[in-house]
Amino acid sequence: PGREPTLLMDPLYAALEHYYGYTSFLPFQEEIVRDILRKRDVLAVLATGGGKSLCYQLPALVTGGLTVVVSPLISLMKDQVDTLVTQGVPAATLNSTLPYDAMVKTLADLEAGRLRLLYVSPERVVQPRFLAALRESGVTLVAVDEAHCISEWGHQFRPEYRQLSVLKEQFPEVPMIALTATAIPEVRQDIIRQLSLADPAVYVGSSNRENLRYTVAGKKDAYPQLIDYLRSNPNRSGIVYFSSKKRTEEIAERLRNDGVRALPYHADLPDNYRHRVQEQFIRDEIDVVCATNAFGMGIDKPDVRFVIHYDMPKSLEAYAQETGRAGRDGEASDCILFYSPGDRRKNQVMLERDSLDRPDLYPVAVQKLNDMAAFCETTRCRREYLLRYFGETFTGVPCGGCDICLQPDEFIDGREIAEKIVRCISGLPGPFGITHIADILAGSKSSRVLARGHQDLPSYNSGSEYSSNQWSSFIRQLIATGYLDQSSGKYPVVTLNVRSRAVLSGGESVRLARPEDSRARDRGNGPD
């Protein structure tokens, strides 16, 4: 009852119900499928769980012909193919892990036109032998999954994706769909250009996750903060992410000693061990996985109640992907990040080392790191910041689901503070870094200040009410909220912009995090 008879007659809905048992589409699926059936190129940016696979599978099922799916994730390919085969759909994979005779058989099936869906790795798809087979096979659709990997502006650049441009050259009349879960606007443009998509329809789903609550907590010794959280949220499943493999093991052990059912997970642990951790987590036999970013791909546990970042991730893409594993079931879930500015510096040093062989990738990586740190330093809504980063406008501030919107008391009117900073910078004989400016304001007698004679500047000691560290924090917050600019590069300097001048004219109210000890003072529990 209640089902519209016209829908029953629509062959697309009939196929949706026949193959999947669904009676309606998720957002954008129907538009995408209809565009593909009209042979239009498509770029689909849909969040994880948004139903991307149906977007190319359903056209493959209703039109016949062959759909080639390019994917870098061998285990996910295998899962999808297994499911399709059990449903009676002729599907196969081609990748480097396949035994030789299986590969020969698949190529024969391909050339004989016996396959409906073929999943193939990016390295394989561009091989001349494969392209020749493809020409025989009557390919009708090409789907490129994880398409952000093609862009150096993305967070998971894979050089082998660059060669995919050959597909449009060789099959210009075959429609192509590119899919990804996260892509900042630059990456979207890059995907379209690199794959030579022809006037594609672009669909960007919202990446807002309403049931996730975002919190950034100052990190001193993070362990007590972690154990406090776990003790006040017992019997709940969650992931704690670390940047170091060693730390996953250390902290998991410490947690076990403190009575928490926790196990570590990282790439160097044996396959069977990792597999067991995953299984135990899914079956609720353990509560906490202490993991590096190797954990999470393809793990579909709906009731992950928290994702904690013990260390800051390298980009907001990584952060969004990892926090996105919380609350798949739609129930309220926590995303907590322990932040210390030292983590940003540590990350930058690692980037410098890692980029020795690809120095051209360094500026983008540093920019991503700075954007990540700015998210931690911001005094505006974190949800708004995150969504804006991915090119989405969010109009729901206060969002009711981030530490900043939920605890306005933690912030002060920073107009005078901002004014002092701006005056100090404009009185400097040249551009300087955060620490130097903070030292001048706090009246520090550091050798760097004295060596330059900066103790004679009018701003010297004009902010003696706060420590140098507090001034550094204020400056970083002003950078994060756009009142100051910071150059990237090895020795970043702070400069004024249009908005800093507005601070001086007194028109702008500037929100800053209430500094630690003034917090104690105001509550009357400071040192006597």
- Judged by the rule CB under 6 A, the positions of this chain that interact with ligand ADP are 22, 25-26, 29, 46, 48-54
Count other C-beta atoms under 10 Å from residue 35's C-beta.
Answer: 21
The residue ranges of DSSP E strands in 126-260, in sequence order, are 139-144, 176-180, 201-204, 212-218, 237-241
Q: Which stretch binds Zn ion (CB under 5 A): 74-82, 97-105, 392-400, 426-434?
A: 392-400
C-alpha angle with apex 229: 223 to 232, nearest 5 degrees? 140
Closest Cα partner for 28 from 12, 49, 6, 52?
Answer: 52
53: partner contacted, choices ligand ADP, Zn ion, none (Cβ within 5-8 A by kind):
ligand ADP
Q: Which of 402, 478, 480, 513 binds Zn ion (CB under 5 A)?
A: 402
CB nearer ligand ADP, residue 25 or residue 241:
25
Residue with token string 């030789």: 100
Q: What is the DSSP string of 401-441?
A: SBHHHH-GGGEEE-HHHHHHHHHHHHTSSS-B-HHHHHHHH
121: partner contacted, choices ligand ADP, Zn ion, none (Cβ within 5-8 A by kind):
none
Q: Which of 365, 376, 405, 478 binds Zn ion (CB under 5 A)?
A: 405
Q: Which stretch binds Zn ion (CB under 5 A): 281-289, 403-411, 429-437, 490-498?
A: 403-411
Q: Which of 142, 150, 399, 440 binds Zn ion (CB under 5 A)?
A: 399
Closest Cα partner for 18 from 87, 86, 75?
Answer: 87
CB nearer ligand ADP, residue 79 or residue 268:
79
466: partner contacted, choices ligand ADP, Zn ion, none (Cβ within 5-8 A by kind):
none
Element (H, E) at 108: helix 100-111
* End-to-end Cα, the chain, rounded Å: 73
CB nearer Zn ion, residue 291 or residue 402:
402
CB 281 to ligand ADP: min, Å? 19
Element (H, E) at 69: strand 66-70
3 state SS of 19: helix
CB nearer ligand ADP, residue 26 or residue 166:
26
Closest Cα partner for 51 from 203, 193, 159?
Answer: 203
CB 398 to Zn ion: min, Å? 6
CB 1 to Zn ion: min, Å? 41
Q: Which stretch binds Zn ion (CB under 5 A): 221-229, 325-333, 397-405, 489-497?
A: 397-405
What's the one-letter identity of residue 143?
A: A
227: partner contacted, choices ligand ADP, Zn ion, none (Cβ within 5-8 A by kind):
none
95: partner contacted, choices ligand ADP, Zn ion, none (Cβ within 5-8 A by kind):
none
139: partner contacted, choices ligand ADP, Zn ion, none (Cβ within 5-8 A by kind):
none
49: partner contacted, choices Zn ion, ligand ADP, none (Cβ within 5-8 A by kind):
ligand ADP
Where does residue 137 fall: left (phi above 0), alpha (psi -120 to 50 degrees), or beta otherwise?
alpha
Cα dist. 485→59, 148, 503 in Å?
48, 28, 14
CB nearer ligand ADP, residue 53 or residue 63:
53
CB 52 to ligand ADP: min, Å? 3
3 state SS of 50: coil
C-alpha angle with apex 266: 262 to 268, nearest 5 degrees? 130
Task: List the x/- string, 371-390, binding to Zn ion by CB under 5 A.
Answer: ----------x-x-------
Cα dist. 205→31, 124, 129, 184, 215 in Å?
12, 30, 37, 12, 24
C-alpha angle with apex 271: 269 to 273, nearest 5 degrees? 65
Q: Which stretch binds Zn ion (CB under 5 A): 36-44, 158-166, 330-338, 391-399?
A: 391-399
CB nearer ligand ADP, residue 26 or residue 361:
26
22: partner contacted, choices ligand ADP, Zn ion, none (Cβ within 5-8 A by kind):
ligand ADP
CB 274 to ligand ADP: min, Å? 22
| 163 burial via Cβ count (<10 Å: 0-12, 13-18, 19+) | middle
The answer to whether the beta carbons of residues 195 and 150 sit under 8 Å apart is: yes
CB nearer ligand ADP, residue 54 or residue 107:
54
CB 114 to ligand ADP: min, Å? 25
Task: List the x/- string, 121-160, binding to Zn ion by CB under 5 A.
Answer: ----------------------------------------
Residue 360 is classified by DSSP as: G
Residues 434-463 interacting with Zn ion (rule: CB under 5 A): none
CB 70 to ligand ADP: min, Å? 14
Kindly list the residues in this chain that would bind Zn ion in the complex (CB under 5 A).
381, 383, 399, 402, 405
